Amino acid sequence: MRAFLFLGSTGRWPVVRGGSPRICFSNKSRMSNCIRRAAECHRPAACAPQIRGRRAVWFTIACALAAGSNFAFSQDVHVDLALPTANNALFRDGGGPDFYQYIERDYQGEKSTPWEGGRYGFVRDPKEAGGGIVYTRFHEGIDIKPLERDANGEPLDEIHAIADGKVVHVNPVASYSNYGRYVVIEHRFDGCNYYSLYGHLSAIAAKVGQRVVKGEKIAVMGWTGVGINRERAHVHLELNLLLSHKFESWHDAVHPNDPNHNGIYNGINLCGLDIARLYLALRNNPGLTIPEFMRDEEAFYKVALARSGHFELPKNYPWMITRTPDAQTHSWEVSFTRSGLPLQIQASARQVRGPELTWVKKTSANASDLTINRVTGRGGRGQLTLEGVTAMRLLTWPD
């Protein structure tokens, strides 16, 4: 199948096409028919595309259970994304200064405005380490610059939903988050839930509980939030996994003096994947699933977590599981990228009382500079920092 670009419902917004609608469990009585149809198709379960036949049925069931006991979730589709604004420069040589909003940098007295700081990844706060320069600050999403401004320089670009979904959170108070005013939309791709976030908005047109379709207007670009001015106005876009529905009690215990105004949709509880790379990958392979996309991400460290009934990742994203538990299982070993994005989960016989680092990639630089200070050590030897232990506890909280 060939990837192509076409206009969205408004006739303006570029869309990356891929896939077709999947089975939707609208109620319990239809569940058995849907499962039987999935088995008859002999297709891999969406959350675990490498598994076929009878096992595919069980992974389909697992994804359904993760969504709730009534099986009444939104349309289940393959990943099908539109850009959130009319700016489609990402598809011209992978973006650049026409797409990404620049940042203001002062490194060792030299000021610059690199557009690369608007990309996803470790692109900010350079530091000399390990015989070279490493960028120590992680940027969870991408910053898309405006195409339209009024006479006063205010951005006019409309922000649109990148895919069909449901609005699950709206933060209308700029001071309540570093994102400023922001919106979170829940999408169900291939049987699992993912969350797009749109930050630094000037005005919001969406409401919690609202069903939106791809390309539907939800907001207007702005420059609300921390560290941003009118000249650097942009929309900050993320596509996330949700780490834990127990986040609020964890936050109250860990940050008792820091009010949480955004519930489980606080940015700490949302773990972003490389959405720009996903857009480009979908152009080359419209049928790509997120599990397939994530296989190209590099694991940087692994952590053993004591087996817990509160560990949600295996339930919410069963495609991560590479080794299923048995009677000898005492813990889960989780592989993470540098930024802490979970990639794989495997059952382990290792006995641990708390989060324990089991492996870290060998580097000359201190791992704390490479892992948002969650792991410390050099040369393949290390341990979790206090910050790392605290972050890992969220995954099995309140255990």
Does one domain contain both 148 and 198? yes
The residues with which 360 forms a beta bridge, in sequence order, are 301
Among residues 295, 328, 353, which one ends one of the domains? Answer: 295
Among 102, 87, 92, which residue's Cα sits nearest to residue 162? 87
Determine the pLDDT at residue 6. Answer: 36
Does one domain contain both 166 and 240? yes
221, 153 contact by CB (below 8 A): no
Task: Look at residue 218 and tell me if it is in a domain.
Answer: yes
Low-confidence ranges of the chain (pLDDT < 50): 1-74
- Burial tier of 358 (Cβ tally within 10 Å: 0-12, 13-18, 19+): middle
User: Got the DSSP string for 17-31?
Assistant: ----B-----SHHHH
Does one domain contain both 230 and 108? yes
Task: Look at residue 11 and tell me if it is in a domain.
Answer: no
Angstrom distance (rounded) from CA 21 to CA 19: 7
Length of the chain as a residue count: 399
| pLDDT tens column, 98-126 | 999 999 999 989 999 999 999 999 999 99
Does one domain contain both 115 and 152? yes
Task: Look at residue 36 and tell me if it is in a domain.
Answer: yes
Among residues 249, 265, 295, which one ends one of the domains? Answer: 295
Q: Which domain holds residue 308?
A: 297-396
Determine the pLDDT at residue 130. Answer: 67
* CATH code, domain carrying 98: 2.70.70.10
Does one domain contain both 45 and 112? no
Angstrom distance (rounded) from CA 90 to CA 144: 9
Taking residue 114's Cβ as centre, other Cβ atoms within 10 Å add up to 17
Alpha carbon 189 to its chain's center = 13
Does one domain contain both 131 and 186? yes
The residues with which 166 forms a beta bridge, in sequence order, are 186, 211
**Kind of pairing, strands 342-348 and 321-323?**
parallel
Angstrom distance (rounded) from CA 238 to CA 180: 14
Among 330, 340, 355, which residue's Cα sits nearest to residue 301? 340
Q: Residue 398, preceding bond cis, omega within 30 degrees? A: yes
Task: Look at residue 1 and tell me if it is in a domain.
Answer: no
Does one domain contain both 62 and 96? no
How many domains are contained in the chain?
A: 3
Determine the pLDDT at residue 16. Answer: 46
Does one domain contain both 101 and 241? yes
Does one domain contain both 156 and 301? no
Angstrom distance (rounded) from CA 6 to CA 87: 14
Does one domain contain both 308 and 291? no
